[in-house]
Amino acid sequence: MKRIKRIGIITAGGDSPGLNAAIRGVGKAALGYGMQITGFRDGFRGLAEDLQVRLDKHALAGILTVGGTILGTGRDKPHRMEINGQERDMTDVIARNYERHKLEALVCIGGGGTHKNALRLVEKGLNIITLPKTIDNDIALTDATIGFDTALGIATEAIDRLHSTAHSHHRIIIAEIMGHRAGWLALGAGIAGGADVILIPEKPYNIAHIATAIRQRSRHGTNFSIVAVAEGAMSREDAEAFARAEEQRKNAKSKAQRQRAKTELAVLTARHSGNTLRLSKQLEELTHLEARVTILGYVQRGGTPSAGDRLLATRLGTKCVELIQDQVFGVMVAARGDGAKPVPIAEVAGKM
Ligand code: F6P
């Protein structure tokens, strides 16, 4: 079997702790096999605009513990990229740049969106291999994603700290936790931090039930409560409204019907962005306790990766290069138990 000599690497989508550990894991293993590694800046845009950076052993040194990504990242899609103010399909340009650099494989480290984009490049005939990263932990067919463990630790520590102030002031404190449409982070941090109420997107909530639970705690002498709410959590009514609009979009028989459903979805999404603040007001009214909101936001994506994320990134990165060496392409390197296993990107893209 011919030896692979040149590979490319990008990080795409939202950043997360452990991305540099993954770049280093891939890079060091690749150098061990005598491969040359070219990084491209800012996700798929770097491939389209040829923003390259050589990753030699000096560039890979000292990055294991550094947050963010030395390559930069972005949410651009190869088939719909804004170039000079105009949306263009850059897939062919990316394929040409891949050829021009004589790349024999391209490693894409990313989340849900990245896997959909990577699949397009697989279909273009590029040798693509991906690593799953996102603090949301919502990628199909892998036990874990790079970044989740660190974000879980940050969110848990935040809940720990919020406990003391909730207790001192006899307040309800609502901690909004990221996760997009998945509840892994809120559920994990909520359980680990001992939150009294945990709200996740997978289980639409009934506000009256939450108020009853909090009032019951007060009656038993505990007049503070911590509510861990996932950013994607919603009330039953809102979940039904979303499901109806989604159904209308799917079953639309005309362009106008589809447009109406899309507009409705956009209105619902915009309204949902204020959900946690609304929830706080509703709970104040129903329980007569003071409520405060803490939105953890991007704090969860920043800073030094945990030991767990460094290990995961190194394990998946190393396996990735072994697979490249064996010329196994079109796969994501999934975490399985203590090991790693290739799964087809086609079975991951678009799934949660
Ligand atoms: O996917 C990671 C994530 O942090 C989600 O939890 C969140 O919904 C989203 O990214 C925020 O995206 P952006 O960085 O584009 O604001």
Q: Closest Cα to residue 38, out of 105, 87, 95, 92?
A: 105
Residue whose CA lies nearest to ligand 1 atom number 7? 180
pLDDT confidence bin for 2, thresholds 50/70/90? confident
348 and 139 Cβ atoms separated by less than 8 Å: yes
Helix (H, G, I), strand (E, B) or coil at 346: helix
Known catalytic membership, residue 309? no
Average pLDDT of span 157-167: 97
Query: What pLDDT sits at residue 67?
Result: 97
323 and 344 Cβ atoms separated by less than 8 Å: no
Helix (H, G, I), strand (E, B) or coil at 214: helix
Candidates 139, 180, 184: which one to mutate for ligand 1, based on the most atoms within 8 Å of Cβ?
Answer: 180
Distances 286 to 46, 205, 246, 290 between C-alpha atoms, Å: 51, 15, 31, 11
Residue whose CA lies nearest to ligand 1 atom number 5? 180
Residue showing tokens 């803490």: 294
The percentage of the chain sitting over the pLDDT mark of 90, rounded to a whole number, equals 99
Query: What pLDDT sits at residue 1?
Result: 74
Q: What tens digit of pLDDT does each residue of 18-75 get? A: 999 999 999 999 999 999 999 999 999 999 999 999 999 999 999 999 999 999 999 9
Q: Tell how far the Cα of 223 is from the centroid of ligand 1, in angstroms.
A: 33
pTM: 0.96
Ligand 1 atom at shortest distance from the alpha carbon of 138? 1
Average pLDDT of span 1-28: 96
Q: Tell how far the Cα of 32 is from the centroid of ligand 1, in angstroms.
A: 34
Between CA 83 and CA 94 the distance in angstroms is 13
Helix (H, G, I), strand (E, B) or coil at 294: strand
Q: What tens digit of pLDDT does each residue of 194-218 get? A: 999 999 999 999 999 999 999 999 9
| Pocket (CB within 6 angstroms of ligand 1) | 14, 75, 111, 134-136, 178-180, 231, 301
Q: Which two tokens stand for residue 348?
A: 């991951």
Please state, as a whole number, how many other Cβ atoms lie within 10 Å of the Cβ of residue 344.
13
Q: Closest Cα to residue 121, out of 133, 111, 107, 134?
A: 107
Q: Tell how far the Cα of 253 is from the centroid of ligand 1, in angstroms.
A: 33
Q: Tell how far the Cα of 242 is from the centroid of ligand 1, in angstroms.
A: 20
Average pLDDT of span 238-242: 97
189 and 177 Cβ atoms separated by less than 8 Å: yes
Q: What tens digit of pLDDT does each residue of 105-146 get? A: 999 999 999 999 999 999 999 999 999 999 999 999 999 999
Q: Which two tokens stand for residue 32?
A: 């061990």
Helix (H, G, I), strand (E, B) or coil at 81: strand
